[in-house]
Amino acid sequence: MAFDVVASSRQEQARTTPWRHAVRTGLALGGVNVYIAVVGILMMFQGRAIVVNTLTLGYATLALTMFLAGLAVSRRGLFADPGRIVLGGMAAGLLAAALPAALAVAMSLVELRFIFVALNAQLLTMLTFHQQPALLGIVYLLVLGIAMGGLGALFVMIGDRVRRPLAGGIIVAGIAGILQELIRPILANSPVTKPLHDLLYTWTGLTLRGAIVISVVVALGILLWQLNRGRVETSLSTLTPSTRRHIRWGYIGAAALLIALFPLFAGNFVGQVLLMVGLFTLMGMGLNLEVGLAGLLDLGFVAFYAVGAYTTALLTADSPFAIAQLSFWQAMPIAVFISIVVGVIFGIPVLKIRGDYLAVATLALGEIVRVVVLSNAAAPWLGGAAGVLQIPRPQIGAMVLATPVELFYLTLAASLVAAYVAWRLAESRLGRAWTAIRDDEDVAEALGINLIQVKLLAYGLGAAFAGLAGSIFAVMLGSIFPHSFQLIISINILALIIVGGLGSLPGVAVGALVLIGLPEMLREFGEFRYLFYGLAIIAVMRLKPEGLWPSAAKQRELAIDAETVAVQQAAVAEHKAP
């Protein structure tokens, strides 16, 4: 069966001619342009300036799709000579521009807004570059497609020594423009960085001068690194292993220190975003014990998060539902312990279930907790839909941890402790037992591993991390409601550990930063930010299936899979040979 799949793939590749590939690529990316215009994303992007009075995110998106069309044609390598490669890229870019141009023509002839609300006069004006008559703007759009497609084809043909600095400078300048609402206040509010702000930004955004300065500086930095990389690596190779390890840890420590101090300068908004990243990192480390190490797929993980939050609320709140008036520091260990107990209780009914059935069963258990908390029957004790209010903030002496930045440091400290515990667990005998049952339960049991004990420990210890996160979440909000514990939280946690890298502790933090932090920064794009969220997951799984920061074990598994595919392809080639 695998041979047939590989053979059919090779036959399809053989049937693909260079010009057919260029046409398909151009039409596909042109369809992307039409889609984002029809649903309203393009006009939303148009409202965000990258370079003040010069370039908006909307026009940058259109130009990027045309550039990618030429890039894809050139990278495929189907054309024989450079001239044809450039022509193919220009053709693909023209087609990527032709579809939105056709949409503009249709909008100028027929009223389409009664079908799609986003197809309004502002979109037509944008697609035609504010030109009158509109036909002239459509010609501009087609010319832009030809130019960007040709540039995309040429970009692959130039050497790495030029391509990498050029790409790095443009990308960093684009990020500086897109995130200017975050970067600009940080630079402007400090007397040390105020001159840099005045060089790069105005009070309305990134200037053209600033974009050029950033691009040139970054490009020169990358070029200097390329020129001196060999000497640096040679010098490092002469050092002792312990010295190299100390240098590496020094870099990691400096980066961690910068990240830790960043919220002090960035303000409460960034502190709030990083606080949410920290909470999901805590939960991700717990689920990573269950899924990444033990292979126990759990879609009801949010239940333990809710248990930790409600336990803390009921033990600390100044509310009719409170059962005690403890401090946060007294309530937090109790919340973690109760989460462990609930995790073990939840693990008992699903001990004999594996695979997809385990995912469905745990999902049901998680929903049971949410429904019970929301029900009228439990309302006298848990507050029902009204929730639990007036949860006090944590205190350290006379200092109250009230702001998002202060709570972020609390979460950071908890995450560091949890990361150390998770690391020690992964390297322990119990961690090796979890890995064994993940690979093959029957063989693990034959080797003497107690499956019941090991699985219940995975559920219980994983729940402890979620309970700790829930405890901090309760004091962060000052109130909790059942609607804060939806299934989507479990899905987000599972997604972030897969994107970061199953079984990898650094991967959990990276996955949380990408899948939780970035969507929080894109809140201005409303519901479309979840579209970008999904696209980011697809891109990572397609381009880096082992995760952004994979564990060594996962890399070995994928290497073995790649070798298997190579053997199958060789067998197909041998079978087809006369």
What are the tens digits of pLDDT across the range 148-202? 999 999 998 888 889 999 999 999 999 999 888 778 888 887 788 889 999 999 8
Whole-number pLDDT of residue 576: 66
Q: Which secondary-structure segment (H or E) carries 206?
A: strand 205-206
Percent of the chain surpassing pLDDT 90: 44
Is 4 within the bounds of a domain? no
Domain ranges, residue 241: 237-266
Is 568 within the bounds of a domain? no
Tell me how far apart the alpha carbons of residues 273 and 263 are, in angstroms, rounded to a whole number: 10
Are residues 260 and 120 part of one domain? no
Are residues 27 and 77 part of one domain? yes
State the angle between helix axes of 451-477 and 404-426 in degrees (0 to 180), rounded to the nearest 10: 170
Over residues 232-291, the pLDDT tens digits come to 888 888 888 888 888 888 887 888 788 778 888 777 888 888 899 999 999 999 999 999
The pLDDT-based confidence of 561 (bands split at 50, 70, 90) is low
Is 8 within the bounds of a domain? no
The pLDDT-based confidence of 337 (bands split at 50, 70, 90) is very high
Are residues 141 and 278 part of one domain? no
Are residues 497 and 420 part of one domain? yes
Question: Are 214 and 200 within 8 A, CB to CB?
Answer: yes
Is 576 within the bounds of a domain? no
Assess whether the previous peptide bond of 349 is cis (omega < 30° from 0): no
Are residues 279 and 262 part of one domain? no
Whole-number pLDDT of residue 387: 87
Measured between alpha carbons, how far is residue 289 from residues 11, 53, 175, 443, 463 in Å?
43, 50, 35, 20, 10
The values of phi and psi at residue 372, to 5°, are -65, -45
Helices (H), 110-207: 121-127, 134-157, 160-178, 180-188, 194-200
Over residues 16-51, the pLDDT tens digits come to 688 899 999 999 999 999 999 999 889 988 988 899
Are residues 183 and 67 part of one domain? yes
Are residues 256 and 224 part of one domain? no
- How many folded domains does the chain comprise? 3
Highest mean pLDDT among 1-15, 84-98, 366-380: 84-98
Is 312 within the bounds of a domain? yes
Are residues 367 and 242 part of one domain? no
Domain boundary among 176, 202, 229: 229
Over residues 507-525, the pLDDT tens digits come to 898 889 888 887 777 776 7
Is 570 within the bounds of a domain? no
Are residues 289 and 216 part of one domain? no
CATH of the domain at 370: 1.10.3470
Average pLDDT, the chain: 87
Are residues 453 and 549 part of one domain? yes
Tell me how far apart the alpha carbons of residues 461 and 241 are, in angstroms, rounded to a whole number: 35
Over residues 448-485, the pLDDT tens digits come to 999 999 999 999 999 999 999 999 999 998 889 988 89
Question: Are 308 and 469 within 8 A, CB to CB?
Answer: yes
Are residues 215 and 326 part of one domain? no
Is 195 within the bounds of a domain? yes
Residue 373 CB partners (closer than 8 Å, separation 6+): 306, 310, 382, 384, 482, 485
Is 569 within the bounds of a domain? no
Whole-number pLDDT of residue 562: 65
The pLDDT-based confidence of 6 (bands split at 50, 70, 90) is very low
Token pair of 307 as six digits: 């248990």
How many CA atoms lie less than 13 Å away from 369 in the CB half-sphere?
27
Whole-number pLDDT of residue 174: 93
